[in-house]
Structure 1
Amino acid sequence: MPGLTSLLADVRACNLCAGQLPLGPRPVLQAAASARILIAGQAPGRKVHETGIPFNDASGERLRSWLGISREQFYDASKVAIVPMGFCYPGTGKSGDLPPRPECATAWRRALMAQLGNIELTLVIGQYAQAYHLPGAGTSVTDIVSAWRRHWPHTVPLPHPSPRNNLWLRRNPWFEEELLPALRKRVAEVLAG
């Protein structure tokens, strides 16, 4: 099995689904073998595709706020791995970005997860990541996230931090009142070692 450095180089050179990507391939992820937190998200949006920096958008600002960490901590690959279900921007559909391309998880996810042996906390963001990382946990993001204690303290399902989810956040005040304080405390504990 190749080492993580070699594997990341292969992932970043991937063009498996180039023909289906409206802006072409640009795999975006960050990882180091020493990372203790894994952020398993969906797929990069257009702005992230343009910059090549994961969660470098309004969703990232909200996610960092949810976690109670700075940009510097968030982008420290030695502490935080960011490995979405799809590594490239999939394009836009009728109600937001298209789902992550399935080729990424099939081709790369198992090998990448095998290289991340120090993960103590996995944040599973959105329906596609939840279907992969928490199979059988529920049928809706609300069902899965509301049962967050079932997976605690090693895995925490989260809704996508997109501004498109403002209505979901208003309808589910328990998320900010109960889950986020516990999550911030857990993140701080993991990062402190």
Structure 2
Amino acid sequence: MTGERLAAVAAEARACTRCNDLPLGPRPVFRVSPTARLLIIGQAPGTKVHETGIPWNDHSGDRLRSWLGMDRDTFYDAGRIAIVPTGLCYPGRLPGGGDAPPKPICAPTWHARLLPLMPAVGLTLLVGSYAQALVAGPGEVTGRVRNFRDWLPRHFPLPHPSWRTTAWERRNPWFTAEVLPVLRKRVGRLVGQDPGGGAAG
């Protein structure tokens, strides 16, 4: 029954046209499953993700998978991993550069309906400031990531894995040394993958 309800809500979300003012038009990109053990909440699709309809199908996704120690096959196994961004559609660009923020109507409309229908989720990755704000309101990402243990066991805050994070990682070596090993261990245990990146036997 839960699977049928989730499929019905997901179909509604994929057909959503509430935000007709989007520069490339509405195209919700997300993945859900009643059996998913891990939920990834990021910001919103970029242009490549909008074009392909595959979440995290860009350089940011490559970096996120590297942080997780995860191969693409595992990452895109919707039976194990759900992906529901803060904004389901590409929001466009800001006048000064960079992606616009997710539409504020999106998460209240769809997260409230989709997330309760995924009862097997044991951990939610909050990737970037917009995802973290859904749980704790506006705040500073670096401090939240450094104090990730305060968010466990339900949530795990991460920075957004864009190219800008390269310099951030150099300035914060504790992220690689202290955060990533715990992240990989917890995620690997949930999805049945060895933390080193291979599938568990």
TM-score, reference length from structure 2: 0.90
Q: Which residue of 2 aligns with 1:42?
A: 43
> What residue in structure 1 maps to residue 196 of structure 2?
none
Matched, 1:81 2:85: no
- The partner residue of 2:128 within 126, 132, 156 is 126
Matched residue type, 1:162? S
- Aligned pairs for 1:70-149 within 5 A: 70-93=71-94, 94-135=96-137, 139-149=139-149
Unaligned runs of 5+ in 1: none
Count of residue correspondences? 190
Name the SS for the 1:92 alignment partner: coil
How much identity, in percent, do the aligned residues show? 53
Aligned-pair CA distance for 1:45: 0.5
Code of the residue aligned with 2:131 in structure 1: it is A
What's the Cα RMSD here?
1.5
**Counterpart Cα distance in 1 of 2:115 and 2:165:** 28
C-alpha displacement at 1:154, in angstroms?
Answer: 2.7
Query: What is the rounded CA distance, in whole Å, between the counterparts of 1:54 and 1:96 in structure 2?
Result: 18
Asked if 1:11 is matched to 2:6, the reply is no
1:95 Cα shift?
Answer: 3.7
Match of 1:100, SS state, is coil
- In structure 1, what is the equivalent of residue 174 of structure 2? 174
Are positions 1:32 and 2:33 aligned together? yes
* Deviation beyond 6 Å, 4+ runs, structure 1: none
Which residue is 2:199 aligned to?
none
Q: In structure 1, the residue corresponding to 2:164 is in which secondary structure?
A: helix
Tell which deviates more after alignment, 44-53 or 98-107: 98-107
SS of 2:89's equivalent?
Answer: coil
Q: What per-residue deviation string (whole Å, max 9, x for no partner) do you get for residues 115-172 of structure 1?
A: 111101110011111010234xx72111111110111233110000111221211111
CA contact (8 A) 1:30 1:82 kept: yes
Residues 37-63 of structure 1, C-alpha deviation per residue, up to 9 Å, x if partnerless? 000111000110010000000000111
How big is each residue's C-alpha offset from its partner over 1:86-117, in whole Å with a ceiling of 9 and x where there is no partner?
00000111241010111111211111111111
TM-score when normalising by structure 1: 0.94
Q: Distance in 1 between matches of 2:34 and 2:60?
A: 25
User: 3-state SS of the aligned residue for 2:156?
Assistant: strand
Q: Which amino acid aligns with 1:15?
A: T
Which segment is superposed worse, 116-125 or 91-100?
Answer: 91-100
